[in-house]
Structure 1
């Protein structure tokens, strides 16, 4: 299945784009998506491990199953004050 992952803040800057397309097998998990993102955009490696992933506008853990058509976003940690 093909998914598009929306990127924000530091992730967008590191990847130099706002969205990355990823090809995954049916029944893939968020954890497998992280691995695919790192393979597709190595500059995201460290940040992808520390970022939250949202699927259909809800935070998801690495065991969450993905489906074709899901809206996926990589949300980096926020700091500052």
Structure 2
């Protein structure tokens, strides 16, 4: 599973992408499960006011199912000016 990271999420993780091995990715079946996984492995992500997740270029709710070959992007809260 390949996850693209943007903004502060990239800074927190220390990379612009994460590649989860199949053994870990197979345990993550929904957007919510992915958020839980990321929060456990990168606790600073839990401090953000919100995280949007896009699956295959479409914003996804927590119940959306994800698979190993989906394109996943983690998008932090943004402020306008």
**TM-score when normalising by structure 2:** 0.83
**Ranges of 4+ aligned residues in structure 1 off by more than 3 Å:** none
Distance 1:19 1:80, change over 3 A: same
CA distance in structure 2 between the partners assigned to 1:24 and 1:12 by the alignment? 19
Q: How many residues matched?
A: 78
The gaps in structure 2 that reach 5 residues or longer are none
Compute the RMSD of aligned alpha carbons. Answer: 1.8
Once the two structures are TM-superposed, the CA of residue 27 in structure 1 deviates from its matched residue by 6.8
User: In structure 1, the residue corresponding to 2:4 is in which secondary structure?
Assistant: strand
1:42-53 aligned within 5 A: 42-47=43-48, 50-53=50-53
1:1-81 aligned within 5 A: 3-22=1-20, 23-25=24-26, 28-47=29-48, 50-81=50-81
**TM-score when normalising by structure 1:** 0.83
The gaps in structure 1 that reach 5 residues or longer are none
Distance 1:71 1:79, change over 3 A: same
CA distance in structure 1 between the partners assigned to 2:62 and 2:36 by the alignment? 11
